[in-house]
Structure 1
Amino acid sequence: MNLSLILHGRDDNTRLSQSVYETLLEAILAGQLAPGDVISEVKLAQQLEVSRTPVHEAIRELAKDGLVVQHANRRPVISSFSREDVFDVFEMRILLESEAARKAAQKVDRPTLARLRTTAEELAADREAPNWLNRWADFDEDFHDAIAKASGSPRLLHDINRYRLLHRGFNKLRTSVEVLGQALQEHFDILDKLDQRDTAGAHAAMALHIKEWQAFFVQNFNGSC
């Protein structure tokens, strides 16, 4: 198994453990790490060229998400990931992020909305660009993060980030420009409701957006996770 660390440009242990988490998550979803595989922290640290600390932290987070099983005095083991698990991840995102959108509609500042809309318009106008998928992924991350932060709830932001990490793993393995083009339109709909300070509308638009993703990923789940 050959793994390459997904880097985010910072070296602190918290950010590094997130990079290790995403690397292992992607390997699990891609089937590189299969159910029943035993994980060696030492070997993973050597392969990813990091210390054991971020590897240990990443495995602990994967265990919280049900992707790794840990027992006392035994090495962690990769657990299975089912269609029902995919459904549940998106159920939690619907609950958390629709509430964040409702709160954000009352608090988000106009410059943030203008920045997000400008980026969305640039993406909509240039879908043939060779780096479009990467640009969209960056925008999607910024979009949902900005709304979660604008909710004014640190706890809500923390929980949203946890479930979005799982979504990001799905996103890299299953999507295309055509699929993301529809999602981009849903982003515009959410921005419209936020711009109008429509709390109920923002809640509904975000819930609909994530429900569409839920249906897509559940339908396309191939059982390799």
Structure 2
Amino acid sequence: MSRKFELPIIPEEERRKDIPLEGEIVLEHPDMIRANEWILENYEPPERELCIFLPCSKRKPYSESPSHRVFNSLIFSLLPEDMVHVVVFGTCGIVPRELEREYPFQHYSFMLGKCNIYAVKRKFIEMESERIARYLKKTEKKYRRRIAYCLGDFREAMKKGSQLSGVPVHIVPKEETMEKVYDERRRFPYGSLFMEPYLQDLCDLICELYGLPRRRVKVDNNTLKLILDVEWYPH
């Protein structure tokens, strides 16, 4: 099915340049709200076997960030690209990867993980879970399966969005893996999604869902390797 929609999402002359796309105001910035409404109302997603939700990154476009390069390497080492639709979510709202270079998704600066204001986090979860729920309902017939790879407030929003919509989402890393990784001495006690145990959970889930031989995940100098090691997994 062809997807027909007009870009840019927000024409240059209609952008709110009087309000900076920086800090917590990003969550309720008029252009961010407008762009997300466009996606939820006008965007026509492709039909795919699997949708994978990945968290937004500080570096933009997201697909060129070190973390997303590793995520992509893992996902597309296991599955062909035409089988998967990647959707980025978080402080950006809901952003299908093919729209990641559109304004305002490549133009804002705010890291929720570094924000310690409870009211801001609560507002984010409220807004993002509602957007996720709407996107899940909108695309219910577009994808056969859904995976979300996320931690922290993004994870909370995804869980709530799935519950609100009634559309199931496989969420990784696993809770037990998170508990093993937890270290209260770190600034972010649960670490980052770049960590091997978490990537292993994502790899294991994809292999389990699609009947693939299990691989062992290794990350070395920002390069991911998937090792087919039958001895690593007991039979």
Query: Is TM > 0.5 for Structure 1 vs Structure 2?
Result: no
| Greater relative contact order structure (CA < 8 Å, 6+ sep) | 1
TM-score normalised by length of structure 1 = 0.27
Q: Which has the higher helix share?
A: 1
TM-score (norm 2): 0.26
